[in-house]
Structure 1
Amino acid sequence: MSSAAAPSDLNPVSPENLSDPLPLYRELRERAPVYWSEPIHSWLVTRHEDVVAGFRDPRLSANRTVFFEHQVQSLGPDSVSAFMRVIRDQMFMKDGSEHIRLRRNINPGFTAQSLDTWRPAIRRTMEQLLERVMPRGRMDLVKEISYELPPLVIAELLGIPAEDRERFRAWSKPMADFSSPAPDADMRVLAHEVNRATMAFREYLMAVVEERRRAPGRDVLSQMVSAEEDGKLSTEEVVANAILLVFAGHTTTTDQLSNAVYDLLTHPEQLQALRGNPALLGQTLEECIRFSPAVPGIGRVAVEDFELRGQKIRKGSHVMFLLAAANRDPEVFSQPDRFDISRDSAQTRHLSFGFGPHQCIGSGLARRELEIALELLFQRLPGLRLDEAHTPVRHHSLAFRGFSSLHVRW
């Protein structure tokens, strides 16, 4: 495969480009908007209009099981058998009518009306986390807020005891590591860990599903079990998609909250504007999500040969939509590299939650968590600032971007 030649380093997983991908995004958008990247064996798509069209294109499938199997093909077919068994039943791996069926039967728990009933629980949880750290005057935001809030909220949403959040973390991390391995990762180790975590997660949720059959509640998992009893979902689909909700909701919201706080603290004039006008919170949130998305890229697989901007995409090829690059497309966003919480609605067409049929089903929950978290953080900790005694520690990959450590004080 070939693509437009460019003199710069266009390796998306080089240490330099992972650390600061903005120059790469800019060059790809301008010179090679559809670019074959040999290091990751994938096409990179960076322009906003192409990503939007790609999410709608039936020639690009969400079913990436072959991609995951290829990652560990040298390890044998059973190396990630439990993991593969689960993801094959997850809605983000489905197309067409199968995707619609799964989403339709999971969606009732994620309507705006349903999610608004959980606002008090989100607020109560966030207040409890803040009360625990406020007397200290400093904390690692990632460890004590960002990493704590999402699993607690998801535990409420699924009706699972909050004390099991430690298990959620232990099971979610191997899934994140395997879904987006570091360039030097030992795939044998990652495969073993993700398989082990998946088996434990599945066993745990099977027991919870059985409990919900006996004593249903008003939680999302009970609604999914009800769909199972009506013959609309299988037990395996209920468990697989509950795992998806826990993993996706935990990993991405954790990173997005840390990214948002960092961007506000490093743009004091924007934070001052928000403090002066709390009505800007909604716009602020959308700008944070646009500017530093927790998920910078998402993949698709070509199911037939076709051409895009003069490049021949072959059947079976992996195509990566670089959402973070599309979010800074100057054809859509004025001054795209400027962090500006005053952007009007026409300037908030970011793609951080995807687009079209596969737009993130949990985006409404994530927005409510982030909105309440940011409101209370800056309200209860008016002197919040970065702790100069500690350097922020980022983690980077093509699929996830956030902080491993972000120390703040007040």
Structure 2
Amino acid sequence: MTLASEKRVYNLLSREALLNPYPLYEKLRTEAPVYYFEEGGFWFLSRYQDVEAAVCDLRLSSDKRALYASKLLNLDKDAIKNIMKLLGGMMVDKDPPEHTRMRKVSLSGFTTRALEGWREIIHETTNSLLDKVQARGCMDVVQDLSLPLPSLMIAKIMGVPEHQRAEFQQWAIDIATFWGAPNGEEVVELALRADKSAVLFTEYINHMIEERKRNKTDDMISLLVTAYEENGFNLDELPSLCILILCAGLVTTADLIPNGINALLTNPEQLDKLKSSPQLVGYAVEEMMRFDPPVPIIFRIAKEDVTISGKTIPQGHIVAIGLGAANRDPQKFDSPDVFDITRTNNEHLGFSKGIHFCLGAVLARMELTICFETLLRRMPNISFDANNQPISKRQTIAFKGFKSFPVKF
């Protein structure tokens, strides 16, 4: 089968595109909105209309085993069987009716009562992390705040004892890094590291499940164990849900906090506006999610030939759905390249849409709102560190954030 040829090559994996994909997204929206990127082996969608339809199109499967396999052609599959089993059981990679069954019971871990109970945990964790750096007058936003905050917060919510939270965090980082479908020579090393962490994580969650079956508390694991038992679900499926909650929460918050701070510091008039009107923080978080989302691309697999805007994507092909590109589409948003924390018509796709709309979106919004409220109240003079430049991630097109982000205050 011959693919539709493109006269121009738009390199989504170039260093420039990984650091700042938005100029390339703009070209693609105008010149090749449904583009087959041969080097990456996937189709890329960049227009809001197409992206919005694609995330809701059940002909595009969430089962991404083919995507992982394409990255690891020369690796013995037995060497990564544990991570593949853990990821293979994640709800986000399931289609209906399996997805429908799993999502219904998973919502038991995110009840309104539970969420309100966790608000204090988020406040406490945020303040504890800022306490450690306040006197220094500087910090690395990634290492000191955005990376530990979600992992510690979720560990607390799940009832992980304090002395085990550091390794719990590391398992999540190892698994999430591979989950992002990285490119390049490091992918095998990342897969092997993720496999080891998958073994330890699964063993630990299974141990927690056995404890909660004997003695339920008010933590998330207890809520989910109860829901699984009441619905006759196999508790062997629970570790995959737990790693999904942990990885999704880690990725969203760990990258959006520095992305958001970067947007504020790069647009000082918006920072001043937020400091003078802290009630705008909710709008600011939504604008951060639109302007520079931590997950700019999600992947799907075509279950049959699918025609989008006149281009036919063959069955079995990988489709990269450009959430980040759609969020800058001028056909949907006024002045899309302008960061505006007062934007109200903001139907961004940062949390996706349809049946796979982010399960933890309410928790993520609560966490981000509390984080930015607390940060700007305690450190109102936050600024770039002139002696230490931020370092962007360059590992994968699926996640966008910073490896380090030094600031002063």
CA distance in 2, matches of 1:112, 1:399: 30
The match for 2:352 is 354
The match for 2:369 is 371
**TM-aligned CA deviation for residue 89 of structure 1:** 1.6
CA distance in 2, matches of 1:336, 1:187: 34
Answer yes or no: is 1:409 the counterpart of 2:408: yes
Percent sequence identity over aligned pairs: 37
CA distance in 1, matches of 2:302, 2:292: 28
The match for 2:248 is 248
Letter in 2 for 1:14: S
**TM-aligned CA deviation for residue 392 of structure 1:** 0.5
> Contact between 1:89 and 1:236, CA under 8 Å: does it hold in 2?
no
TM-score of the pair, normalised by structure 2: 0.96
Letter in 1 for 2:371: A
Deviations, residues 334-392 of structure 1 (Å, cap 9, x unaligned): 00000011111x2x111111101101101111111110010010001121111111011
Alignment of 1:121-200 (within 5 A): 121-200=121-200
DSSP-derived class of the 1:213 partner:
helix
Answer yes or no: is 1:15 the counterpart of 2:6: no
Structure 1 unpaired stretches of 5+: none
> Contact between 2:105 and 2:228, CA under 8 Å: does it hold in 1?
no
CA distance in 2, matches of 1:121, 1:20: 34
CA distance in 1, matches of 2:299, 2:171: 22
DSSP-derived class of the 1:80 partner:
helix
CA distance in 1, matches of 2:170, 2:114: 28
The match for 2:287 is 287
The match for 1:5 is 6
Alignment of 1:8-407 (within 5 A): 9-344=9-344, 346=345, 348-396=346-394, 397-407=396-406
> Contact between 1:140 and 1:407, CA under 8 Å: does it hold in 2?
yes
CA distance in 2, matches of 1:114, 1:169: 22
**TM-aligned CA deviation for residue 277 of structure 1:** 1.2
> Contact between 2:107 and 2:359, CA under 8 Å: does it hold in 1?
yes
**TM-aligned CA deviation for residue 179 of structure 1:** 2.6
Letter in 2 for 1:377: L
**TM-aligned CA deviation for residue 194 of structure 1:** 1.6
Q: 1:276/1:324 Cα in 2 relative to 1: closer, same or farther (>3 Å)?
A: same
Aligned residues: 407
Q: 1:102/1:263 Cα in 2 relative to 1: closer, same or farther (>3 Å)?
A: same
Deviations, residues 73-100 of structure 1 (Å, cap 9, x unaligned): 3212313211111122211011112111
DSSP-derived class of the 2:189 partner:
helix
Structure 2 unpaired stretches of 5+: none
**TM-aligned CA deviation for residue 130 of structure 1:** 1.4
CA distance in 2, matches of 1:188, 1:109: 34
| More off after superposition, 53-62 vs 112-121 | 112-121
> Contact between 1:45 and 1:321, CA under 8 Å: does it hold in 2?
yes
> Contact between 1:72 and 1:187, CA under 8 Å: does it hold in 2?
yes
Letter in 1 for 2:372: L
Q: 1:26/1:80 Cα in 2 relative to 1: closer, same or farther (>3 Å)?
A: same
**TM-aligned CA deviation for residue 306 of structure 1:** 2.2
**TM-aligned CA deviation for residue 229 of structure 1:** 2.0
> Contact between 2:294 and 2:400, CA under 8 Å: does it hold in 1?
yes
> Contact between 1:302 and 1:315, CA under 8 Å: does it hold in 2?
yes
CA distance in 1, matches of 2:182, 2:83: 19
| More off after superposition, 202-211 vs 175-184 | 175-184
**TM-aligned CA deviation for residue 182 of structure 1:** 4.5
Q: 1:183/1:236 Cα in 2 relative to 1: closer, same or farther (>3 Å)?
A: same
| More off after superposition, 389-398 vs 161-170 | 161-170
DSSP-derived class of the 1:401 partner:
coil
